[in-house]
C-alpha cells in the first residue's frame, strides 16, 4: 500500500536499514538517456578531422592499435572529453549559482570568474606578444590556463568581497556581479583595442571559448576538479534545495545559511574557473543547462546530476555543429553556444517578465 505522501512526492523510497533515499524515477531515466546521448555525440565528433572516420572506425581505433589509434587517443578523445567535462562543470556551476541567487537568469558570469579570467588571459597574451612574439609552446599550454584560473579566482574574490554585507544576499550578489563583469568587459576591449592585431586574434579565439587543440593536459585538471567537487556538491544538495527559500525559512529549517551559501558559491567558482581555464569562457552553457535539466526532469529546481549531463551534451553537440556547419572551416565552440543561447536567454527574460506582470 502506498501512503498518500509517497504518491505525492513523486519518487520511490529506497530504504536500507536506517539509511533512506528518495529515488526520482523520471530524473534517473533522464540521466541515463543523457549519458547515452553524450557518449553518442562524443563518438560523432571523433569522426571529424584530417582523416575522416566512421563511428565503427573510431571504436576500432580506440580498441585496436592501428594507424588511427594515435590520432583518436591523443587528439580526438581528449578534445571530446574536454568538451563534455567542461560542459558538465559549467552546468553544475550554473545550477549552484541559480539556486544561491534564487534567479533562473543567473550564471557563473556574475561570480566574476569569466570576467577575471578573460581580462587576465587577454592581458597576458598582449604582454607576451610584445616580448616573446606570441603565447606559444609551454606558455600557451600551462601559462594561459594557469593565468585564466588565477584571474577567475581573483575576479570571484572581488565580487564576493564587494557583495558581502554581514551575510550574502542573492540579489546584491547579482548586482555586484553584473557590475564587475561590465568593468572586466571594458578593460578587456580596451586591451584588445590597443594591442597588436595578431595577438588580438589569438586572444579573441580564447575569450570566445574553443576546444581546438585540447589534449590530455586539459582533460586531467577538469577531471580532477570534477572528481573532487561533484561528490562535495552532491553532499550539499539538500542545503542547496533549502537555500532557494527566503532567508527566514532557511534559518528556520536549521541550515547555517551563510556557511552553506559560502561553500556552495566556492564550489561553483572552482568549477567555473577550472572549466574556463581549460576551454575559455564558453557562453550560455551554465545559464541554459540547469533550466533545460529542470524541465526534462519535471522538478521545480535544477537537479545537479541531470544539469551536469545536459551541460556535457550541449557542449558536445555545439562542438559537433561548430565543426560540421561550415566544414572544413571550424568555428570556436563558444560561437555556436552563444548563437543557440541568445534566443534562449531572450525567451527566459520574456517568461520572467510575464510572470512578474501576472
Partner 1 sequence: MRLQAVDLKLGYGDRIIVDGLDLGIEAGTVTTIIGPNGCGKSTLLRALGRLLKPSGGEVLLDGKRIDRMPSKEVARILGVLPQAPTAPEGLTVADLVARGRHPHQTWYRQWSSDDESAVSEALSMTGLLELGDRPLDELSGGQRQRAWISMALAQGTDLLLLDEPTTFLDLAHQIEVLELVRRLHGELGRTVVMVLHDLNLAARYADRLVAMRDGKVIASGTPAEVLTEGLLAEVFDLDAKVIEDPVAGTPLVIPIGTRAHPPS
- Residue ranges that bind partner 1, judged by CB under 8 A: 3-11, 13-15, 18-22, 102, 235, 238, 241-242, 244-249, 251-256, 300-301, 355
Contact 156, 182 (CB under 8 A): no
Residue number with CB closer to partner 1 (9 or 51) = 9
- Tell me the closest approach of the beta carbon of residue 321 to partner 1, in angstroms: 30
Residue number with CB closer to partner 1 (209 or 236) = 236
Find where cell 567542461 sits: 86
- Tell me the closest approach of the beta carbon of residue 166 to partner 1, in angstroms: 9
Residue number with CB closer to partner 1 (1 or 329) = 1
Residue number with CB closer to partner 1 (51 or 259) = 259
Residue number with CB closer to partner 1 (47 or 261) = 261
The residues that bridge with 22 in the sheet, in sequence order, are 13
- Tell me the closest approach of the beta carbon of residue 308 to partner 1, in angstroms: 18
Residue number with CB closer to partner 1 (133 or 231) = 231
The residues that bridge with 15 in the sheet, in sequence order, are 20
Residue number with CB closer to partner 1 (165 or 329) = 165
- Tell me the closest approach of the beta carbon of residue 244 to partner 1, in angstroms: 4
- Tell me the closest approach of the beta carbon of residue 340 to partner 1, in angstroms: 24
- Tell me the closest approach of the beta carbon of residue 136 to partner 1, in angstroms: 47
- Tell me the closest approach of the beta carbon of residue 15 to partner 1, in angstroms: 7
| One-letter-per-residue 3-state SS of the chain | CCCHHHHHCCCEEEEECCEEEEECHHHHHHHHHHHHHHHHHHHHHCCCCCCCCCHHHHHHHHHCCCHHHHHHHHHHHHHHHHHHHHHHHHHHHHHHHHHHHCCCCCCHHHHCHHHHHHHHHHHHHHHHHHHHCCCCCHHHHHHHHHHHHHHHHHHHHHHHHHHCCCCCCHHHHHHHHHHHHHHHHHHHHHHHHHCCHHHHHHHHHHHHCCCCCCCHHHHHHHHHHHHHHHHHHHHCHHHHHHHCCCHHHHHHCCCCHHHHHHHHHHHHHHHHHHHHHHHCCCCCHHHHHHHHHHHHHCCCCCCHHHHHHHHHHHHHHHHHHHHHCCCCCCCCHHHHHHHHHHHHHHHHHHHHHHHHHC
Residue number with CB closer to partner 1 (10 or 54) = 10
- Tell me the closest approach of the beta carbon of residue 322 to partner 1, in angstroms: 33
Amino acid at each position: 500500500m502506498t501512503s498518500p505522501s509517497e504518491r505525492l512526492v513523486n519518487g520511490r523510497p529506497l530504504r536500507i536499514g536506517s539509511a533512506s533515499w528518495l529515488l526520482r524515477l523520471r530524473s534517473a531515466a533522464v540521466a541515463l538517456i543523457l549519458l547515452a546521448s553524450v557518449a553518442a555525440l562524443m563518438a560523432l565528433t571523433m569522426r571529424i578531422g584530417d582523416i575522416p572516420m566512421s563511428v565503427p572506425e573510431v571504436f576500432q581505433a580506440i580498441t585496436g592499435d592501428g594507424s588511427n589509434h594515435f590520432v583518436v587517443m591523443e587528439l580526438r578523445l581528449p578534445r571530446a572529453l574536454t568538451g563534455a567535462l567542461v560542459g558538465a562543470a559549467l552546468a553544475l556551476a550554473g545550477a549552484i549559482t541559480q539556486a544561491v541567487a534564487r534567479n533562473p537568469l543567473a550564471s557563473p558570469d556574475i561570480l566574476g570568474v569569466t570576467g577575471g579570467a578573460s581580462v587576465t588571459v587577454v592581458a597576458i597574451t598582449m604582454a607576451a606578444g610584445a616580448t616573446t612574439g606570441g603565447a606559444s609552446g609551454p606558455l600557451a599550454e600551462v601559462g594561459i590556463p594557469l593565468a585564466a584560473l588565477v584571474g577567475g579566482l581573483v575576479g570571484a574574490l572581488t565580487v564576493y568581497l564587494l557583495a558581502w554585507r554581514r551575510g550574502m544576499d542573492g540579489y546584491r550578489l547579482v548586482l555586484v556581479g553584473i557590475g564587475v563583469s561590465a568593468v572586466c568587459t571594458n578593460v578587456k576591449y580596451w586591451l584588445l583595442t590597443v594591442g597588436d592585431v595578431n595577438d588580438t586574434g589569438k586572444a579573441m579565439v580564447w575569450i570566445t571559448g574553443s576546444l581546438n587543440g585540447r589534449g590530455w593536459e586539459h582533460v586531467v585538471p577538469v577531471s580532477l576538479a570534477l572528481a573532487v567537487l561533484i561528490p562535495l556538491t552532491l553532499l550539499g544538495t539538500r542545503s542547496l534545495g533549502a537555500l532557494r527559500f527566503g532567508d527566514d525559512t532557511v534559518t528556520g529549517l536549521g541550515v547555517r545559511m551563510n556557511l552553506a551559501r559560502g561553500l556552495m558559491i566556492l564550489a561553483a567558482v572552482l568549477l567555473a574557473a577550472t572549466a574556463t581555464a581549460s576551454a575559455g569562457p564558453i557562453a550560455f552553457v551554465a545559464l541554459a543547462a540547469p533550466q533545460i535539466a529542470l524541465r526534462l526532469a519535471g522538478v521545480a529546481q535544477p537537479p545537479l546530476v541531470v544539469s551536469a549531463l545536459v551541460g556535457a551534451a550541449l557542449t558536445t553537440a555545439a562542438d559537433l555543429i561548430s565543426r560540421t556547419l561550415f566544414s572544413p572551416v571550424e568555428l570556436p565552440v563558444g560561437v555556436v553556444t552563444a548563437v543557440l543561447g541568445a534566443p534562449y536567454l531572450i525567451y527566459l527574460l520574456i517568461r520572467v517578465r510575464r510572470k512578474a506582470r501576472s
